[in-house]
C-alpha cells in the first residue's frame, strides 16, 4: 500500500497545533526546565539541507529529552535578520531590505513547520524588529557606561567590496568572509567593544564547559595568551646615549590598566617615550643575542628616530607598506623587507649599541609594536639578519658549548652561553634571572600578552542596528571654555569625547527612554564607500538635539555588527516580547544558561566567543546571574554534495529539502539525515541512501497496515531485544549517535516482523517517535488505538535483569584464535563455559584440560584458553 506521507504529516501537524502540544510554559510543576537551543538561521530565503541537518537531529534529541518525563524542554527558534545579504539583494532587486527579509522569513517559517519540530513558535525572535534591536541599543549603552564600548582610531580591516569595516574574526586568510574580496587596512575611528578586558576570563571559563575539545582549543588559540616580559632598550640617539628608567614600566597597576585601554584604542600598541623603546618577548633568556631592534612601520617613534639621512628611504618604505593589502602581507612571509632608521639602542644587559630597523614583519597591533631581534634563536629574525647582513650571535646552546656561524635559528630551550654572569643557566632560569635583574633597574616587567583584539562593531552599512549615540560640539565648547589652557584633562578620548575632522565633540548616550533609535526608511541604502553608512545621507536622521544642552547635535550613523544581535538572542527567548526590559530576570533565571546548544562549528571564534563575552560583561553589570551562556555544545558536520564536494549552485550538486519532503515526506528525510552517518562529521549526500530509507518506511507502513498483532507473552529473545533496543536508542540519542539508533530500530523491526507481539510493537513506535514524529503518531493513535499523543507518552524503560536473560554466544579462543562459538545461558559462569568447551571437538582438537595453562572468562562474551608451552 502507498505510504500517504503528506496526508499523515499535515493531519498531525494541525492536530499538534490545535492541542498546543509544544507551547512551553515557564514553569511546570514537578519538572525541571531544560533549555535546548539551535543556532537561529539567517533568513536567506530557503532552508537548505545544512539547516535540516542541524535542526532535525537536534529536534530528535529535544523530543527524546522531553519524553524522559522530568524535564520541561524549551526549544525556540527565530531569525538572525540583519545583515549584508538583505542589502545586497535589495540593491540588486530594488526591494527594501526589510521587505526582502520579511518575505524570506515568511517562507522559511513554513519550511521550518514542514520539519515537524517541537519549536515553541510563540517565542520567536526576529532581530531586525525594533522590539528586538531596541535592546541591542540598550545593551550597547550598558557597555558604554563603564567604557566597555568606546570609540577609537584603529587600523581596521576594510572590505572594499562591502565598503565596510570588519572585525578581526570576520577576516579569513586576508579576505572578507562575506564576499571574498581582499581586505585592506584603513585608519578610521570606530566603535569597539573591549573584549580584551575579558581575555583571561574567557580563557579560564572554558575549563568548565561541556564543549567539543576542538572548539575550546580554537578559542584558546584565538585568545592567544603568551607570558613573557616587556624590556626597555634605552635609545642611543644619533650616537649619544639618553638612558634612564622607562616611563611606562614604573607606573602603578591602576594607571596601567587605563593605559592599556588607550593602547587598545591606538593603532599601535606601543607605549614608549623619547628615552627608550619597549619590546615584548617570551624569550628574555636570549637577550644577549639581541643584535638589533625592529619597529613596526606604524610605530609612533618611527618619525622621531629616523635620521635626516635616512628619511627618504624610510618614507619610501612606509608608503609601500601602507599600500599593501593584508593578503599581500600574508603572502610575503618568506622574504623580509625593511629599512634602517639611522638610530641605535642599547642592549640593556650587554651594553652594546644595536641598530634600530623598521620592517612590516613586526605587527603594530601585537605586544608593543617593536621587537628585540635575536637572529640566532628566531627564524624570522634570522631570515631578516641574513637579508640585511646583520650580526647573528648564539646565546643559547643545546650542549652548553658555544658554536659559531649557525646555519639556521636554534629555537628550542638550552643552556645560556655568551651571556655574562647568566651563562650556564638553563633557558628557564635565564629568563627569570635576566628579567629579575633588569626589573630592579626599572628596565623590565613580567607581562602577559593576548593575541585577541578588541571587537570593532561599527559597520558602514544600512541594514543593522543604529548605534544609539549623539555627538555635541556645543557641549565640547562649553567644557573647553571652562578650562581653556589645559583642556579637559579629565575627559577620556573615545568615551567622553571624540574627534571628527579635527574638531572635538562630546559623546552622549541616547537616553534610555528614547530607545529605540529607529532605523529610518531611506531611499538609497547603497554603501557610501566614504567610511560612513548610508544613514549619513539622511539629514533628518543625522540631526538631533543634544540630550544634555538641547542644542543641535548629530547622530552616529554607523550600524552595529550583526554579531551583536546574535550575542544575546538566547536570553531574549526567555521573554521574547517584553517591552519593559531586555528580559524579565525571573524568566531568565527559569531558563538560562542554555543547557544544550547545537549548531555549526564555523562559529567557534565568532558568535560563540562574542556570546561568552556578552554574558560575562552583563554578569559584571548585574544584568545576568551566570557567566557562561552555553553549558553544553555540540556541532553537526557538513552535508556535502553527492560528488563529495561542498554543495554549490555552480557545481549543480545542491539537494533541496523542499523537494525531498515533497517526494518522500518529512519523516523519511528526518530518518535519513539521522541515519546518513556520523552526525558530528557529516558527509556526502546519497540519493540512493534516502531511497533505501523510503523503502524501510514503506515496509514499516505495510507491516502496520496488515499485521495482526499478537497479545501473547513475548518470547525471551524478543523481550531481551526490546530492552536492548530501548537502552541502545536512548543512549545513542543522548550521545548524538543518531545513525546507530536508527540501525538498532531497524534490527528491532526485523524481529517484530517475525513475532508481531503487540507489547513490543508499542515500544517500537514509542522509540520511533522522535525520528519520525508524524508516522509514529499515526501508528500510535490510529493503528494501535492508544490514547493521547505518542510524544506525551513516557520513554520506555528497560531492566538490567531482562538484559541478562536468554542465551548468548560465547566465543572460545585458543591461544588468541577463535575456534568455537558456544550458545549458553546469559548467566553462564566460567566453570559452565569450560564444561561446554570440553564437549566441543573443535576445542579439544587444540587444547585439553591436560594441556591448558590458563583460561580467561568474560561473561556473556568470551572464554580464552591458553595452552602450556610445548
Partner RNA sequence: GCCGGGGUGCUGAAAUUGGCAGACAGGGUGGACUUAAAAUCCGCUGAGCGUAAGCUCGUGUGGGUUCGAAUCCCACCCCCGGCACCA
3-state SS, residue 148: coil
Which one, of 195, 248, 249, lies nearest residue 222 by Cα? 195
> Residue written as cell 493503528?
783
The piece of 67-75, 76-84, 326-334, 609-617 that touches RNA (CB under 7 A) is 326-334
The single residue among 684, 710, 784, 840 that binds RNA, judged by CB under 7 A, is: 684
The single residue among 676, 765, 768, 843 that binds RNA, judged by CB under 7 A, is: 676
Complex with RNA: residue 29 or 688, whichever CB lies closer:
688
Q: Applying CB under 7 A, does 713 fall inside the site for RNA?
A: no
Considering the complex, what minimum distance in angstroms separates the CB of residue 436 from RNA? 17
Sort 245 into a burial class: Cβ within 10 Å, 0-12 / 13-18 / 19+: middle
Distance (Å) of CA 305 to CA 157, 234, 243, 300, 512: 28, 12, 15, 10, 49
Complex with RNA: residue 627 or 739, whichever CB lies closer:
739
Considering the complex, what minimum distance in angstroms separates the CB of residue 170 from RNA? 10
Distance (Å) of CA 221 to CA 110, 202, 206, 634: 40, 12, 12, 19
* Other Cβ atoms within 10 Å of 613 Cβ, number: 24
User: Rounded distance, CA 86 to CA 151, Å?
Assistant: 27
Specify the DSSP element, H or E, that contains 427. helix 427-440
Count, residues near RNA per rule CB under 7 A: 80
List binders of RNA among 833-852 (CB under 7 A).
Answer: 842
What is the DSSP track for 169-237? GGEETTEETTT-PBPEEEEEEEEEE-GGGGHHHHHHHGGG-B--HHHHHHHHHHH-EEEEEEEEEEEEE
Complex with RNA: residue 621 or 747, whichever CB lies closer:
747
Complex with RNA: residue 412 or 711, whichever CB lies closer:
412
The single residue among 50, 153, 244, 689 that binds RNA, judged by CB under 7 A, is: 689
Considering the complex, what minimum distance in angstroms separates the CB of residue 809 from RNA? 4
Q: Applying CB under 7 A, does 854 fall inside the site for RNA?
A: yes
User: Rounded distance, CA 311 to CA 645, Å?
Assistant: 53
Complex with RNA: residue 120 or 298, whichever CB lies closer:
298
Q: Applying CB under 7 A, does 20 fall inside the site for RNA?
A: no
Complex with RNA: residue 169 or 575, whichever CB lies closer:
169
User: Rounded distance, CA 69 to CA 177, Å?
Assistant: 44
Considering the complex, what minimum distance in angstroms separates the CB of residue 265 from RNA? 18
Q: Applying CB under 7 A, does 361 fall inside the site for RNA?
A: yes
Considering the complex, what minimum distance in angstroms separates the CB of residue 161 from RNA? 19
The piece of 28-36, 197-205, 529-537, 597-605 that touches RNA (CB under 7 A) is 597-605
Considering the complex, what minimum distance in angstroms separates the CB of residue 857 from RNA? 8
Q: Applying CB under 7 A, does 678 fall inside the site for RNA?
A: yes
List binders of RNA among 444-503 (CB under 7 A).
Answer: 449, 451
Q: Applying CB under 7 A, does 686 fall inside the site for RNA?
A: yes
Which one, of 708, 785, 789, 784, lies nearest residue 752 by Cα? 708
User: Rounded distance, CA 46 to CA 43, Å?
Assistant: 7
The single residue among 691, 755, 759, 786 that binds RNA, judged by CB under 7 A, is: 691
Strand runs labelled E in 87-170 = 149-159, 164-166
The piece of 9-17, 212-220, 307-315, 524-532 that touches RNA (CB under 7 A) is 212-220
List binders of RNA among 368-427 (CB under 7 A).
Answer: 369, 371, 374, 378, 380
CB 463 within 8 A of CB 129: no
Complex with RNA: residue 27 or 651, whichever CB lies closer:
651
Complex with RNA: residue 103 or 221, whichever CB lies closer:
221
Complex with RNA: residue 127 or 341, whichever CB lies closer:
341
Considering the complex, what minimum distance in angstroms separates the CB of residue 224 from RNA? 5
Q: Which residues pair with 191 in a beta bridge?
A: 151
The single residue among 28, 330, 400, 782 that binds RNA, judged by CB under 7 A, is: 330
Q: Applying CB under 7 A, does 155 fall inside the site for RNA?
A: no
598-601-603-608 Cα dihedral, nearest 10 degrees: 50
User: Rounded distance, CA 619 to CA 621, Å?
Assistant: 5
Half-sphere exposure of 128 (CA within 13 A, CB side): 24
Q: Applying CB under 7 A, does 213 fall inside the site for RNA?
A: yes
Q: Applying CB under 7 A, does 300 fall inside the site for RNA?
A: no
Considering the complex, what minimum distance in angstroms separates the CB of residue 643 from RNA? 11
Q: Applying CB under 7 A, does 819 fall inside the site for RNA?
A: yes
The single residue among 353, 421, 581, 821 that binds RNA, judged by CB under 7 A, is: 821
Q: Applying CB under 7 A, does 809 fall inside the site for RNA?
A: yes
Considering the complex, what minimum distance in angstroms separates the CB of residue 217 from RNA? 4
The single residue among 241, 304, 499, 866 that binds RNA, judged by CB under 7 A, is: 866
User: Rounded distance, CA 56 to CA 820, Å?
Assistant: 44
List binders of RNA among 568-587 (CB under 7 A).
Answer: none
The single residue among 677, 717, 806, 826 that binds RNA, judged by CB under 7 A, is: 677
Considering the complex, what minimum distance in angstroms separates the CB of residue 750 from RNA? 6
Cis peptide before 358 (omega within 30 of 0): no
Considering the complex, what minimum distance in angstroms separates the CB of residue 816 from RNA? 3
The single residue among 366, 462, 505, 570 that binds RNA, judged by CB under 7 A, is: 366
User: Rounded distance, CA 657 to CA 114, Å?
Assistant: 10
Q: Applying CB under 7 A, does 283 fall inside the site for RNA?
A: yes
Q: What is the largest CA-CA distance in the chain?
A: 109
Q: 534-554: string of b/e by CB count within 10 Å (b at 16+)?
A: bbbbbeebbebebebeeeebb
Q: Applying CB under 7 A, does 830 fall inside the site for RNA?
A: no
Measured in degrees and rounded to the nearest 5, phi and psi for residue 596 equal -140, 120
Strands 862-867, 455-456: pairing kind: unpaired
The single residue among 332, 420, 521, 524 that binds RNA, judged by CB under 7 A, is: 332
Complex with RNA: residue 43 or 367, whichever CB lies closer:
367
CB 865 within 8 A of CB 855: yes
User: Rounded distance, CA 397 to CA 240, Å?
Assistant: 34
The single residue among 250, 692, 788, 825 that binds RNA, judged by CB under 7 A, is: 692
Considering the complex, what minimum distance in angstroms separates the CB of residue 384 from RNA? 8
List binders of RNA among 730-749 (CB under 7 A).
Answer: 737, 739-740, 742-743, 746-747
Which residues have a Cβ under 8 Å from the Cβ of 480 and sit 6 or more positions away? 487, 488, 504
Measured in degrees and rounded to the nearest 5, phi and psi for residue 538 equal -90, 105
Complex with RNA: residue 485 or 817, whichever CB lies closer:
817
Measured in degrees and rounded to the nearest 5, phi and psi for residue 730 equal -60, -50
Measured in degrees and rounded to the nearest 5, phi and psi for residue 818 equal -70, 125
The single residue among 6, 187, 214, 421 that binds RNA, judged by CB under 7 A, is: 214
Complex with RNA: residue 222 or 614, whichever CB lies closer:
222
The single residue among 282, 437, 832, 851 that binds RNA, judged by CB under 7 A, is: 282
The single residue among 251, 363, 714, 844 that binds RNA, judged by CB under 7 A, is: 363
User: Rounded distance, CA 217 to CA 223, Å?
Assistant: 10
CB 772 within 8 A of CB 7: no
Cis peptide before 516 (omega within 30 of 0): yes
Complex with RNA: residue 163 or 336, whichever CB lies closer:
336
Which one, of 78, 847, 99, 65, lies nearest residue 521 by Cα? 99
Considering the complex, what minimum distance in angstroms separates the CB of residue 15 from RNA? 30
The single residue among 25, 818, 830, 835 that binds RNA, judged by CB under 7 A, is: 818
CB 444 within 8 A of CB 431: no
Considering the complex, what minimum distance in angstroms separates the CB of residue 431 from RNA? 10
Q: Applying CB under 7 A, does 750 fall inside the site for RNA?
A: yes
Amino acid at each position: 500500500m502507498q505510504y500517504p506521507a503528506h496526508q499523515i504529516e499535515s493531519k498531525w501537524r494541525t492536530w499538534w497545533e490545535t492541542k498546543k502540544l509544544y507551547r512551553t510554559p515557564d514553569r511546570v510543576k514537578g519538572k525541571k526546565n531544560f533549555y535546548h537551543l539551535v543556532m537561529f538561521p539567517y533568513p536567506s530565503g530557503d532552508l537548505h539541507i545544512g539547516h535540516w541537518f542541524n535542526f532535525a537531529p537536534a529536534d530528535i534529541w529535544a523530543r527524546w529529552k522531553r519524553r524522559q518525563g522530568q524535564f520541561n524542554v524549551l526549544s525556540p527558534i527565530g531569525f538572525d535578520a540583519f545583515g549584508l545579504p538583505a542589502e545586497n539583494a535589495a540593491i540588486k532587486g530594488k526591494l527594501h531590505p526589510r521587505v526582502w527579509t520579511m518575505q524570506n522569513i515568511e517562507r522559511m517559517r513554513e519550511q521550518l513547520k514542514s520539519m515537524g519540530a517541537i519549536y515553541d513558535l510563540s517565542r520567536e525572535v526576529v532581530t531586525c524588529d525594533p522590539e528586538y534591536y531596541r535592546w541591542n541599543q540598550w545593551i550597547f549603552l550598558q557597555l558604554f557606561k563603564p567604557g566597555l564600548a568606546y570609540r577609537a582610531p584603529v587600523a581596521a580591516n576594510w572590505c572594499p567590496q562591502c565598503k565596510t569595516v570588519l572585525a578581526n574574526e570576520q577576516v579569513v586568510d586576508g579576505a572578507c568572509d562575506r564576499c571574498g574580496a581582499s581586505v585592506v587596512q584603513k585608519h578610521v575611528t570606530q566603535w569597539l567593544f573591549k573584549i580584551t578586558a575579558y581575555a583571561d576570563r574567557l580563557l579560564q571559563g572554558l575549563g568548565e564547559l561541556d564543549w567539543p575539545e576542538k572548539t575550546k582549543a580554537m578559542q584558546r588559540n584565538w585568545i592567544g595568551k603568551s607570558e613573557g616580559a616587556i624590556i626597555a632598550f634605552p635609545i642611543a640617539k644619533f650616537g649619544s646615549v639618553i638612558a634612564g628608567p622607562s616611563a611606562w614600566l614604573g607606573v602603578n597597576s591602576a594607571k596601567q590598566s587605563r593605559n592599556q585601554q588607550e593602547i587598545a584604542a591606538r593603532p599601535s600598541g606601543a607605549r614608549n617615550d623619547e628615552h627608550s623603546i619597549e619590546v615584548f618577548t617570551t624569550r628574555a633568556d636570549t637577550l644577549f643575542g639581541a643584535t638589533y631592534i625592529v619597529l613596526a612601520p606604524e610605530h609612533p617613534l618611527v618619525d622621531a628616530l629616523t635620521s635626516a639621512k635616512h628619511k627618504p628611504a624610510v618614507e619610501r618604505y612606509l608608503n609601500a607598506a601602507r599600500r599593501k593589502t593584508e593578503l599581500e602581507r600574508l603572502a610575503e612571509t618568506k622574504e623580509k623587507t625593511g629599512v634602517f632608521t639611522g638610530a641605535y639602542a642599547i642592549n640593556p644587559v650587554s651594553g652594546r649599541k644595536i641598530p634600530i630597523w623598521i620592517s612590516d614583519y613586526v605587527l603594530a597591533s601585537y605586544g608593543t609594536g617593536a621587537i628585540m631581534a635575536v637572529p640566532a634563536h628566531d627564524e624570522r629574525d634570522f631570515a631578516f639578519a641574513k637579508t640585511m647582513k646583520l650580526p647573528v650571535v648564539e646565546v643559547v646552546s643545546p650542549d652548553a658549548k658555544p658554536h659559531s656561524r649557525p646555519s639556521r635559528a636554534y629555537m628550542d630551550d638550552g643552556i645560556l652561553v655568551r651571556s655574562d654572569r647568566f651563562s650556564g643557566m638553563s633557558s628557564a632560569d635565564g629568563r627569570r634571572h635576566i628579567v629579575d635583574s633588569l626589573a630592579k633597574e626599572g628596565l623590565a616587567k613580567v607581562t602577559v600578552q593576548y593575541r585577541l583584539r578588541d571587537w570593532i562593531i561599527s559597520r558602514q552599512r544600512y541594514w543593522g542596528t543604529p548605534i544609539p549615540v549623539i555627538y555635541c560640539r556645543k557641549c565640547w565648547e562649553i567644557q573647553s571654555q571652562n578650562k581653556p589652557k589645559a583642556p579637559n584633562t579629565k575627559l577620556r578620548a573615545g568615551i567622553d569625547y571624540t574627534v571628527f575632522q579635527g574638531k572635538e565633540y562630546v559623546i552622549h548616550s541616547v537616553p534610555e527612554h528614547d530607545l529605540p533609535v529607529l532605523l529610518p526608511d531611506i531611499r538609497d541604502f547603497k554603501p557610501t564607500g566614504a567610511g560612513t553608512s548610508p544613514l549619513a545621507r539622511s539629514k533628518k536622521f543625522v540631526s538631533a538635539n543634544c540630550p544634555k544642552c538641547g542644542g543641535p547635535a548629530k547622530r552616529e550613523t554607523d550600524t552595529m555588527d550583526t554579531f551583536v544581535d546574535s550575542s544575546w538572542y538566547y536570553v531574549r527567548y526567555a521573554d521574547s516580547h517584553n517591552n519593559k526590559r531586555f528580559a524579565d530576570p525571573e524568566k531568565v533565571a527559569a531558563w538560562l544558561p542554555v543547557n544544550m546548544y547545537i549548531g555549526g562549528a564555523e562559529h567557534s571564534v565568532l558568535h560563540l566567543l562574542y556570546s561568552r563575552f556578552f554574558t560575562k560583561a552583563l554578569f559584571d553589570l548585574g544584568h545576568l546571574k551566570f557567566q557562561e551562556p552555553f553549558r553544553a555544545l555540540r556541532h553537526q558536520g557538513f552535508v556535502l554534495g553527492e560528488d563529495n564536494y561542498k554543495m554549490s549552485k555552480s557545481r549543480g550538486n545542491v539537494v533541496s529539502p523542499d523537494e525531498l519532503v515533497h517526494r518522500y515526506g518529512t519523516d523519511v528525510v528526518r530518518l535519513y539525515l539521522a541515519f546518513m552517518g556520523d552526525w558530528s562529521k557529516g558527509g556526502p549526500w546519497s540519493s540512493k541512501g534516502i531511497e533505501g530509507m523510503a523503502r524501510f518506511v514503506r515496509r514499516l507502513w505495510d507491516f502496520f497496515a496488515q499485521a495482526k498483532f499478537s497479545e501473547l507473552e513475548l518470547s525471551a529473545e524478543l523481550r531481551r531485544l526490546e530492552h536492548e533496543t530501548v537502552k541502545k536508542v536512548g543512549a545513542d540519542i543522548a550521545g548524538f549517535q543518531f545513525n546507530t539508533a536508527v540501525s538498532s530500530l531497524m534490527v528491532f523491526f526485523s524481529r517484530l516482523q517475525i513475532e508481531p507481539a503487540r507489547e513490543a510493537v508499542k515500544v517500537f513506535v514509542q522509540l520511533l517517535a522522535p525520528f519520525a514524529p508524524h508516522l509514529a503518531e499515526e501508528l500510535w493513535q490510529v493503528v494501535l488505538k492508544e490514547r493521547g499523543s505518542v510524544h506525551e507518552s513516557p520513554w520506555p524503560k528497560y531492566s538490567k535483569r531482562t538484559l541478562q536473560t536468554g542465551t548468548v554466544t560465547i566465543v572460545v579462543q585458543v591461544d588468541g584464535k577463535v575456534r568455537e562459538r558456544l550458545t549458553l545461558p546469559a548467566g553462564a559462569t566460567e566453570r559452565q563455559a569450560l564444561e561446554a568447551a570440553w564437549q566441543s571437538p573443535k576445542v579439544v582438537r587444540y587444547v585439553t584440560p591436560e594441556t591448558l595453562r590458563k583460561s580467561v572468562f568474560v561473561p556473556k562474551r568470551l572464554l580464552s584458553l591458553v595452552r602450556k608451552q610445548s
